[in-house]
């Protein structure tokens, strides 16, 4: 029998110290939902998701009804050389969690990325589209998707894009830090997608968990922008008076290839849960208010 939220559901969060993990904890505390926060750092229940034995032991000991995997290797450029680490954390570890979840009949939520696509479609990617990653990071995330779907079916797989929140480092916070040190910034105009606020992603995750709706979802804030437009909006909001130079991806010569157009289409979210994501500009406004307390 599937447990509902009213049955005192217990949730285990991996990678709880990350920006999404932090917002999930805040939300669960507000909703009075019992959770176990795991990570590597002090203050959290220690869990190495790359170790199947450790995962099995903790899951059997704590018996969560839901496992939400926020742990990930996100160093896109470093993954070109450290691909085995990326494949292990983003791929094999998902299988570890799936094995443990299956053994206790827990619902598993896992997050993937727009970087599983090659960016050549020219229009937003739907849940129907076939991944074709350009980088080792993208490959590692796609490996996690495949290992998850091969193992069992009691899961929700959420692809998202350009995630930002108050906790930890992200592009939005980097832009703000750069603005304090420089009066000229170079930003790309040909990398296009949509930012996703962790507060919004956490809220939708909870609804998916409450209803225990399985399957693949694309979840990002609505609207579309380039990295240049995204940064420009933030800089205007914080009153930065410097100059932004328009650049192309190739001007930065980064080790990992990024998809040039990887906007995700949220089709399926409203149809299943009657949820519409806020526009990314609205999300940035709320993020800045959270960050600066204004």
Domain boundaries, the chain: 7-170+196-222+263-277
Measured in degrees and rounded to the nearest 5, phi and psi for residue 134 equal -100, -20
Does residue 125 carry a catalytic annotation?
no
Which of the residues 137, 142, 155, 233 is marked catalytic? 137
- In DSSP terms, which residues pair with 217 in a beta bridge? 158
* Residue range 7-170+196-222+263-277 in CATH 3.40.50.720: yes
- Per-residue confidence in pLDDT tens, the chain, 294 aa: 454 544 579 999 999 999 999 999 999 999 999 999 999 888 899 999 999 999 999 999 999 999 999 999 999 999 999 999 999 999 999 999 999 999 999 999 999 999 999 999 999 999 999 999 999 999 999 999 999 988 789 999 999 999 999 988 899 999 999 999 999 999 999 999 999 999 999 999 999 999 999 999 999 999 999 999 999 999 999 999 999 999 998 888 899 999 999 999 999 999 999 999 999 999 999 999 999 886
pLDDT of residue 1: 46
Tell me how far apart the alpha carbons of residues 216 and 102 are, in angstroms, rounded to a whole number.
18
Q: % helix / strand / coil in the chain, to the nearest 5?
A: 45, 20, 35
Measured in degrees and rounded to the nearest 5, phi and psi for residue 97 equal -65, -40
């Amino acid at each position: 029998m599937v447990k509902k939220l009213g049955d005192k559901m217990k949730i285990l969060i991996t990678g709880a110290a990350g920006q999404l993990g932090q917002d999930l904890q805040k939300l669960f505390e507000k909703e009075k939902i019992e959770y176990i926060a795991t990570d590597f750092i002090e203050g959290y229940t220690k869990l190495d998701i790359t170790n199947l034995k450790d995962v099995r032991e903790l899951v059997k000991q704590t018996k969560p009804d839901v496992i939400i995997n926020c742990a990930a290797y996100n160093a896109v450029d470093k993954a070109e050389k450290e691909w085995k680490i990326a494949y292990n954390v983003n791929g094999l570890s998902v299988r570890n969690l799936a094995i443990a979840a299956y053994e206790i009949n827990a619902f598993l939520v896992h997050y993937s990325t727009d970087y599983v696509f090659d960016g050549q479609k020219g229009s937003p990617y739907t849940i129907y589209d076939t991944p074709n990653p350009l980088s080792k990071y993208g490959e590692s995330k796609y490996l996690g998707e495949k290992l998850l779907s091969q193992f069992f079916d009691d899961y929700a797989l959420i692809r998202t894009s350009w995630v930002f929140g108050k906790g930890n480092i992200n592009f939005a916070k980097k832009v703000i830090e750069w603005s304090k040190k420089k009066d000229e910034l170079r930003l790309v105009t040909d990398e296009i997608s949509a930012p996703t606020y962790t507060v919004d992603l956490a809220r939708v995750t909870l609804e998916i968990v409450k209803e225990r709706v399985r399957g693949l979802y694309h979840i990002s804030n609505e609207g579309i922008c380039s990295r240049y437009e995204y940064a420009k909006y933030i800089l205007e909001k914080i009153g930065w008076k410097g100059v932004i130079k328009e650049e192309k991806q190739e001007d930065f010569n980064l080790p990992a290839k990024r998809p040039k157009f990887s906007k995700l289409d949220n089709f399926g979210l409203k149809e299943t849960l009657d949820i519409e994501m806020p526009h990314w500009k609205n999300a940035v406004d709320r993020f800045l208010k959270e960050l600066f307390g204004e």
